[in-house]
Amino acid sequence: TATAAVLDPEAEHSTDIVPVGSSEQSSPPSPRLHRDLIAYEVKVNQRDIEDMCICCGSFQVHTRHPLFEGGMCTPCKDKFLECLFLYDEDGYLSHCSICCAGETLLICENPDCTRCYCFECIDSLVGPGTSAKVQAMSNWVCFLCLPFPRSGLLQRRKKWRGWLKAFCDREAESPLEMYKTVPMWKREPIRVLSLFGDIKKELMSLGFLERGSEPGKLKHLDDVTNVVRRDVEAWGPFDLAYGSTPPLGHACSQPPAWYLFQFHRILRYARPRPGSPQPFFWMFMDNLVLTQDDRVVATRFLETDPVTIQDVHGCTVRNAVHVWSNIPAVKSSRHSALDPQEELSLLAQDRQRAKPPTQGPAMLVKNCFLPLREYFKYFSTELTSSL
């Protein structure tokens, strides 16, 4: 089968193979003229594909595409950075891995891959009509999973994971360095330190923890007053540190800022040593209980700005949280800030509730953990929505 070929890196192929299949039944869209000219410019006019944006066909190249040979213009670079690690509820990436756009996507059916590709990119870079042919096949092993690097004009970059890290570190407007993604055969179960809020159910529903929590482990602590560096090092090492303030309406024995300062203290103990290539991620979630001054302090201590993740039904904001994190895509524009009036209204609603909401605030950030599939092993491919 096509999937078996992925698992055999020594396999040899004498011709280009496009083992693609998808449950999508839509017809491919008509390609735009300038995308249609990519093959003509490369094959007939002998233009170097690195001098064209493979996302849109523009000749105004700003940088090189990090995954495949070819250039990238500034607007496509910005869109790529914005959408690269965004996931849908089904656990697959939301956008095409080449152009980060596309209306109809083909999903890689290698169980360890979550990437998608649009009809337009496949037809313009692999060959006209290819999307219709591969759509009818039973399995699709995508262009980053196949053991051979070329399909038509689409040439996978050597050491593309290093290219991707360098691209994000250079082009992204973020003070936080990106970790290089991990090949699927090297991914290990995630080790989690969860402070104050317990995210075990959320991580299990995403497949990062198995029932019984082994392999993979989660250490949950409600009180860290007496925890010292020696304790954290003995429990670790950890790959993810999570902390939160108590939900609105919950009684707590400490002021809200105490949870921030304690999280920052324990985070310093849990981090790998400086210069370590080990991917290490963290998230701190505020359930709208920190003051504006507290949030300014949090931004200074955690060295990144927060985003606001909302639970919106129709025109009503039912719940929201502020999040600081180094997990890729958390800072996407998919998350927008509440204006002061909305925030005050939400606070008033929460404080008038007789009991806490049935859905915990951690559910709001559950899908923010999905990009960790690029770094750690997961044990299920079907996401559950019952948790």
138-144: average pLDDT: 84
pLDDT digits (tens, 9 = 90+) for 14-31: 333 444 433 343 333 444
pLDDT more than 70, % of the chain: 77
- Tell me the C-alpha distance between 313 and 252, whole Å: 29
pLDDT greater than 90 at residue 139: no
pLDDT value of residue 319:
76
- pLDDT in the model for residue 28: 39
Alpha-helical segments (H) within 271-311: 292-302
186 Cβ contact partners less than 8 Å away, ≥ 6 residues apart: none
* Gap between the Cα atoms of 340 and 343, Å rounded: 5
Are 67 and 163 in contact by the 8 Å Cβ rule? The answer is: yes
- How far apart are alpha carbons 121 and 299 in whole angstroms? 39
pLDDT of the residue at 201: 86
Domains and CATH numbers, the chain: 2-171 (no CATH), 184-374 (3.40.50.150)
The better pLDDT of the pair 305, 353 is held by 305
pTM score, whole prediction: 0.79
Mean pLDDT on 251-258:
84
Contact 184, 113 (CB under 8 A): yes
| Beta pairing partners, 136 | 21
| Angle in degrees, CA 300, 302, 308, rounded to 5 | 95
Burial class (CB in 10 A: 0-12, 13-18, 19+), 315: exposed
- Which amino acid is it at 386? S
Q: What is the mean pLDDT of residues 188-205?
A: 88
CB 191 within 8 A of CB 105: no
Of 194, 193, 202, give the one whose Cα is nearest residue 367: 202
pLDDT at 200 over 70: yes
pLDDT one-digit tens code per residue, 66-84: 999 999 999 999 999 888 8
CB neighbours of residue 63 within 10 Å = 16
pLDDT number for residue 137 = 78
| Higher pLDDT among residues 13 and 283, named by residue | 283
Mean pLDDT for the chain overall: 79
Q: Taking 80 as the threshold, does the pLDDT of residue 7 lie above it? A: no
pLDDT recorded at residue 26: 39
